[in-house]
Amino acid sequence: MSNLNQSLGEFIIENQNEFKYSSGELSRLINSIRLAAKMVNHKVNKAGLVDIVGKAGDTNIQGEDQQKLDVYANDVFVNGLVNREIVCGIASEEEDDFLSIKGRKGKNENKYVVLIDPLDGSSNIDVNVSVGTIFSIYHRISEVGTPVQLEDFLQPGNKQVAAGYIVYGTSTIFVYTTGHGVNGFTLNPAIGTYYLSHPNITFPDKGNIYSVNEGNYVHFPQGVKDYIKYCQKEEEDRPYTSRYIGSMVSDFHRNMLKGGIYFYPQTSQSPNGKLRLLYECNPLAFIAEQAGGKASDGFGRILDIKPTELHQRVPFFSGVKSMVEKAEEFMAHYT
């Protein structure tokens, strides 16, 4: 039975038997992410006091300008996972290719791969807006003891064994699932410990928030334009409230707690969408479904998409189940 005085470490140990590959490795893996997140949180909270804001001067594989905190967060999470020797491979939004990790004996003996967006919404750091980290964990499918393969990372989202995110905001919240519901833990900065603050998170049955970058309206498909007009129309339970932060983790987190839909559809400029399937959409889709919500590319389930490349992009609609289904109805009019 969970209680609000329970620490994240205690919660992981108490619930690890729910995990079908339980051997303590999952606990160590999530603990490693927890520690790295505290280090990133410390640096985020010092933004403006130290030379950590602004552009790093490089671009990532997607051609986007890397922020200094992007580079720092990537290094912290990668080094934390490598040094603890608990994963056989890592794929990061900030890296061109996946990293194959060898254990002490020079073999890839660990069972898990991690895919991570080290710092989602990092361009908002300069103006003190909440940012986050998103992670996804899979059980490797290549033979244990051999070098990790690309196929280990290109698994559909329905094969995830755990996923989560951290929001670095007015408080720092660690939210994750292992397929047995969604729980959130808030960091007590005085002692550096996460405590259960949001047990058994579920989306409300109905929502009244829609989150989309309406600056791209003219580039949206007609189905998306029609759905936005639906959200704005005055009816019994509408118009909905428009809320868009521009930090995916923050928008998703608010809508899961308050009730809403977040969508980043394809556009005429980005016909395949902009968000990364492996680092952003799959983990948040897993969390959404575990919280009673839904995640779609506008036509079908996100978690059923078979990835073809590490940095694949897809359209993304996620939130209250009925709201996502209504968006899909509008999209279906133009298929």
Q: pLDDT digit string (tens) for 91-131? A: 999 899 999 987 666 566 788 999 999 999 877 777 778 89
- List of residues 6+ apart from 322 with CB closer than 8 A: 205, 206, 207
In three-state secondary structure terms, 267 is coil
Q: How many CA atoms lie within 13 A of 313 on its CB side?
A: 13
Contact 137, 176 (CB under 8 A): no
| Residue 12 · residue 130 · CB < 8 Å | no
122 assigned binding-site residue: yes
Domain ranges (residues) in the chain: 8-198, 209-332
Task: Give the long-range contacts of residues 186-194, CB within 8 A, separation 24 or more.
Answer: 187/38, 187/41, 192/38, 193/7, 193/8, 193/9, 194/7, 194/8, 194/34
For residue 259, say whether it is annotated as part of any ligand binding site.
no
Q: Residue 149's pLDDT is what?
A: 95
Does the annotation flag 97 for ligand binding?
no
pLDDT for 9 equals 86
DSSP 143: P
pLDDT by residue (tens digit) across 9-31? Answer: 888 888 877 665 556 778 888 88
Determine whether the annotation assigns residue 123 to a binding site. yes
CA–CA gap between residue 229 and residue 332 (Å, rounded): 16
**Whole-number pLDDT of residue 290:** 98
Q: Is 26 annotated as a binding residue?
A: no
120 carries a ligand binding annotation: yes
Does domain 8-198 sit in CATH 3.40.640.10?
Answer: no
pLDDT of residue 21: 55
CATH of 209-332, one of 1.10.3720.10, 3.40.50.300, 3.40.190.80, 2.40.160.20: 3.40.190.80
pLDDT-flagged residues of the chain (< 50)? 1, 49-52, 54, 56-57
The answer to whether 119 is a known ligand-binding residue is yes
What's the pLDDT score for residue 52?
A: 47
Write down the pLDDT at residue 51: 47
Establish whether 213 is an annotated binding residue: yes
When computed from its CA atoms, the radius of gyration of the chain, rounded to whole angstroms, is 19
117 is in an annotated binding site: yes
For residues 299 and 263, what is the distance between their CA atoms, to the nearest angstrom? 13
